[in-house]
Amino acid sequence: MNLASGYLIENIQVICLPRWQIDGLKVKTGRIRNGIMTKEEQKLGPQRKRIDEIDQQLLDLLSERKQIINEVIEKKIKNRLPIFAPQREDDKTDKFREMAVQRDLDPDWAEDFLRMIMASSRASQSSNEFPRATKESKHILIVGSRGGMGSLYSKIIEQTGHFVHEIDKHNWYELEEIAPKLDLAIVSVPINVTIDVIERLAPKLKEETILADFTSNKADSIQAMLEAHSGPVLGMHPMHGPDVDNLSKQLMVVCPVRDAEASQWMVKQSELWGMRVIEADPEKHDHVMNMVQGLRHFVALLHGSFMKTYDLKPQDILDYSSPIYRAELMMTGRIFAQSAELYADIVFANEDRRELLLNFIEHNDRLAQMVKNDDKEGFIKEFEGVTDFFGKFASQALEESGYLINRLADRFA
C-alpha cells in the first residue's frame, strides 16, 4: 500500500511519507553505510583523487594571486589609486567569460567565480591601509563614534592615514580643545537627536571646517547645518549598514550644498575607498527614502507582527519555504536582529514619511475589499495594471531575483 503523497512549491518537490518508509529510504539510498564505502563508491577512487589534486592546485594558484594582490595594494596606496576600478573589473569579466566559452565552461558560472575572487581581493585591500585623497593628513571629527556607523568610519578614516577625533556623550567636554584643528566634522548620531547635536556642535567649529552628517533623512539636517554653520556644508548618506566587511562597491550619496569645492576631497576619498558616489538633491533623496526605508521597514513590521500574532514561527515556515519566500523571510528577519529604536527613528523620521505610511494603509484597505468580496477579477485587473506600470523593470527584477534565489538555494537549502 502506497501511503506517500506530495505537492510542488515552485521548484521544490515536497513528499510526505510515513516514518517507516523514510527509514527504509535512508538505508536504500545511503552511499556510505557505517563509514564504509560501497563497491560502487570505490570505483570512483581514481577520479576523486585527481579532483582533490586539482582542488589543491586551485588553492595554490589563489594563494599566489593573493600575494600579487598585496603588491598591488602597496602601489595603490603609494599612487593614491581607488580600491575599486569598475572599468578594469568589467573588462576582466568580459574576457573571462570569453575564455570560459572557449573551454566549454558555463560563462555565467565563470563570471560568478571571478567576481568572488575579485571581491575577496578588494576585501584584502580594505584590511590594512587605504589610499589617501590628500597629500597631508586631515583632522576629522566623528560625533557619535560609539555608534555602528561612527565606529566603522572612525576605523576606516584612521586606516587611511587621517587623524581621527572621536566625540560621544561621555567626552563632549573635549570638543573645545579639538575644534580649532578640525578640517571636517561628521555628525553620525540617531535621527531624533541629529538637529540638536548639529546646533550644539556648529558654534564650536571654525568657519573653514566642513560640517557634514550621515543621516538618512537629508533635507532637515542640511537645513539645520546651513543655519548653524557659515562654512562648507556637505550632506552624506552611506547606503549600507555598519556590518559591511569593506566599503568597496558600497553607495555613498552626497549633497554638497555649500562650497562644494572645499569638500571635494572628501567625495574623492569615498571613491578611493572603492565606493560608488552619486550626487543628489536633498528633497528628491528624502522622497525616495520615504519608500526605500520608511515603507519597507513598516511592511517588515507588519509581516513579522502577523507571524507573531498567528504563532507562525520562522523556523517552521522555513522548513516549507520555496527559495523566493526564504529570501523574503531572511530580509524580514534581518531587520528584527537590529535596534528597535533605530528603525522607529527611520519609520517616523518626518511628517512626509508618516503621511506616506497612512496613505499606504488606506490603499491596503481598498485592496482588502477584493478579498472581502471574493473579487478575483478585480485582483487580476489591479495586478495587470501594476505589471504595465513596472514595464521593462519587471524583466530585470525577474532576472536579478532569479540569480539571488538560485544562489541562496544552492548555499543554504
Query: Which stretches within 30-147 are classed as H helix?
Result: 39-42, 45-79, 86-102, 107-125
Average pLDDT of the residues in 308-314: 91
Which CATH number characterizes residue 172's domain? Answer: 3.40.50.720
Residue 158's CB: how many other CB atoms inside 10 A?
A: 15
- Predicted confidence (pLDDT) per residue in 204-223, tens digit: 999 999 999 999 889 999 99
Is 187 contained in some domain? Answer: yes
Q: Which amino acid is located at 5 in the chain?
A: S
Q: Which amino acid is located at 21 in the chain?
A: Q
With vertex at residue 68, the alpha carbon angle to CA 63 and CA 72, rounded to the nearest 5 degrees, is 140
**371 versus 294: which is more confidently predicted?**
371
Residue carrying the nine cell digits 556623550: 169
The pLDDT of residue 141 is above 80: yes
The cell for 234 is 556637505
The pLDDT of residue 13 is above 90: no
Same domain, 175 and 117: no
Average pLDDT of the residues in 300-321: 89
Is 18 contained in some domain? Answer: no
Same domain, 265 and 149: yes
- Predicted confidence (pLDDT) per residue in 355-404, tens digit: 989 999 999 999 999 999 999 999 999 999 999 999 999 889 888 888 87
The cell for 371 is 478579498
Same domain, 109 and 212: no
Same domain, 151 and 273: yes
The cell for 160 is 587611511
Residue of 221, 224, 225, 193 whose CA lies nearest to 211: 225
Residue of 148, 190, 140 whose CA lies nearest to 166: 140
> How much of the chain exceeds pLDDT 90, in percent?
54
Q: How much is the pLDDT for 135?
A: 92
Work out the pLDDT band at 258, boundaries 50, 70, 90: very high
Same domain, 215 and 336: no
Taking all residues of the chain, what is their mean pLDDT, rounded to a whole number?
A: 87
Same domain, 120 and 151: no
Average pLDDT of the residues in 173-178: 94
Q: How much is the pLDDT for 1?
A: 43
List all residues 6 or more positions away from 114 whose beta carbon is below 8 Å from its beta carbon.
92, 93, 96
Is 362 contained in some domain? Answer: yes
Same domain, 349 and 394: yes
Separation in Å, CA 360 to CA 299, 301, 304, 367? 10, 14, 17, 11
Q: How much is the pLDDT for 188?
A: 96
> Which among 125, 152, 171 is the end of a domain?
125
Strands (E), 125-279: 139-143, 163-167, 184-187, 210-213, 233-238, 251-258, 276-279
Is 15 contained in some domain? Answer: no
Is 4 contained in some domain? Answer: no
Same domain, 116 and 149: no
Same domain, 147 and 69: no
Same domain, 168 and 243: yes
Q: How much is the pLDDT for 69?
A: 83
Please state the domain count of the chain. Answer: 3
> How much of the chain exceeds pLDDT 70, in percent?
90
Query: Which stretches within 248-336 are classed as H helix?
Result: 264-272, 282-289, 296-309, 314-319, 323-335
Is 377 contained in some domain? Answer: yes
Is 44 contained in some domain? Answer: no
Rounded Cα gap, residues 337 and 49, in angstroms: 43
Same domain, 100 and 146: no
Same domain, 373 and 325: yes
> Which among 237, 257, 280 is the end of a domain?
280
Average pLDDT of the residues in 222-240: 96
Decide the pairing of beta strands 184-187 and 139-143. parallel
Is 348 contained in some domain? Answer: yes
When computed from its CA atoms, the radius of gyration of the chain, rounded to whole angstroms, is: 27
Rounded Cα gap, residues 366 and 360, in angstroms: 10
How does DSSP classify residue 179?
Answer: G
- Predicted confidence (pLDDT) per residue in 28-55, tens digit: 444 445 557 787 878 888 889 999 999 9
Range of the domain at 336: 291-412
Rounded Cα gap, residues 406 and 108, in angstroms: 12
> Which among 222, 255, 280 is the end of a domain?
280
Ranked by mean pLDDT, the top range of 22-31, 239-248, 295-304 is: 295-304
Diameter over CA atoms, the chain: 87
- Predicted confidence (pLDDT) per residue in 115-127, tens digit: 888 888 777 665 6
